[in-house]
Structure 1
Amino acid sequence: MTYTHTMTVDLSYDETVARTRKALAAQGFGVLTEIDIPATFETKLGPEAAADIGDYIILGACNPTLAQQALTADPAMGALLPCNVVIRRAPEAKVTTIQALDPQTMVQLSNTPAVTEVAKDAEQRLQAALTALKTL
C-alpha cells in the first residue's frame, strides 16, 4: 500500500523547505508543528545518529477548514492530523525528497462519506502544492 505522495527536486534542502512552506500556504495549509529530526537524534542518540539521517524535517501541515470538516464527520480523524509533510536529503544525495501523507489513507480508516470528500479535497491541494514546487 502506498501511503505517501513523493517527489524529488534538484534543489538544496533549505530551498526545498522554503518552497514547500510557500506551496502549502498557497493551498491554504499552515504549518502547526515542525520536527527537526537531526536535532532530535543528536540530543537523544548522539551526533553520529544525526549525521547518518542527513537533513530531515517533518512539517505538520493543516488546512483549518478541511480539518474542521474531517473532525466534525469523524472525531477520531484527529489521530491523523495534522497532515505530515517530510522534506529530507540524505548525506551525499543529489536531490531532495518531499513526501506528503496521502489523504486517501483517511478514507481507508473511516467509512464516513464526509471524510471521503475531505480527503479528495486535501489530496488535490497537496498534489497542487507538490507540483508547484517545481515552479516556485
Structure 2
Amino acid sequence: MADYTLSITTERPYEETVTAVREQLAEAGFGVLTEIDLRATLKAKLDVDVPPQVILGACRPQLAHQALQAEPSIAALLPCNVVVRSVGETTTVVEAFDPAMMTSFVEAPSDALRAVSEDARTRLLVALAAVGA
C-alpha cells in the first residue's frame, strides 16, 4: 500500500468487486460523481491493453461542503478517487486516496479540516473492509 492510499486486495472477480465497491460507498454515504474506465480510455487513446481498471470519483456532499468551508482550495483534491483494478481472474485491488493526506497539503490545517478528513477516512476504511470481507 502506498502512503497516500488506503488499499485492500480481495479474492473476488473484478466486476463483482466494482459492484461491491459501489454498494459500500453508498452505505458509507458517498455517491459516485464520475467514472473513468482506464482500460477503455487507454485502448482508445493509445491502443494499449491494460487489465480492467476504473476510477470512481466518490463524494459525500456534506463532507465536501465542510472541507470547502475550512479550506476553499481543497476543491482541487475532490472528489475522493477510488480505484478498482483487476490483478487476476479472481483477485482485485481497491485503493482510495487517503483523505488524511488532505491536511498535508495545507500549511496550517484547521481542526475543521482535520475532522472532515478523519470522518471521510473512517467511512472509506469501513467501506473497504466490507468489500474485503
The answer to whether TM tops 0.5 is yes
Alignment partners' CA distance in 1, 2:111 and 2:23: 31
Residue in 2 aligned with 1:14? 15
Secondary structure of 1:133's aligned partner: helix
User: In structure 2, how many angstroms separate the alpha carbons of the residues matched to 1:131 and 1:44?
Assistant: 34
Gap runs ≥5 in structure 2: none
TM-score (norm 2): 0.93
What secondary structure sits across from 1:42 in the alignment?
Answer: helix
Partners in 1 of 2:89 and 2:34 — Cα distance?
26
- Give, in whole Å, the separation in 1 of the partners of 2:89 and 2:83: 16
CA distance in 2, matches of 1:39, 1:64: 29
| Match of residue 55 from structure 1 | 52
Aligned to 2:21, the other structure's residue is in SS state helix
Aligned residue pairs, count: 130
1:94 Cα offset (Å): 4.5
Matching residue of 1:124: 122
* Other-structure match for 1:115: 113
Q: Please, what is the CA RMSD of the aligned residues?
A: 1.2
| CA deviation map 1:16-64 (0-9, x unaligned) | 0000000000000000000000111111101xx1x2x201000000000
Query: What do the CA deviations read for 1:44-86 (whole angstroms, capped 9, x no partner)?
Result: 101xx1x2x2010000000000000000111101000000000
Runs of 4+ in 1 over 4 A off after TM superposition: none
Whole-Å separation in 1 of the counterparts to 2:11 and 2:5 = 20
Q: How big is the shift at 1:134?
A: 3.2
Map 1:62-73; keep pairs closer than 5 Å.
62-73=59-70
Structure 1 counterpart of 2:115, one-letter code: E
Q: Which amino acid aligns with 1:133?
A: V
- 3-state SS, counterpart of residue 39 of structure 2: helix
For residue 95 of structure 1, what is the aligned residue in structure 2?
Answer: 91
- The residue aligned with 2:42 is 41
Cα offset for 1:93? 5.6
The one-letter code sitting in structure 1 at the alignment partner of 2:20 is R
1:84 to 73, 81, 84: 81
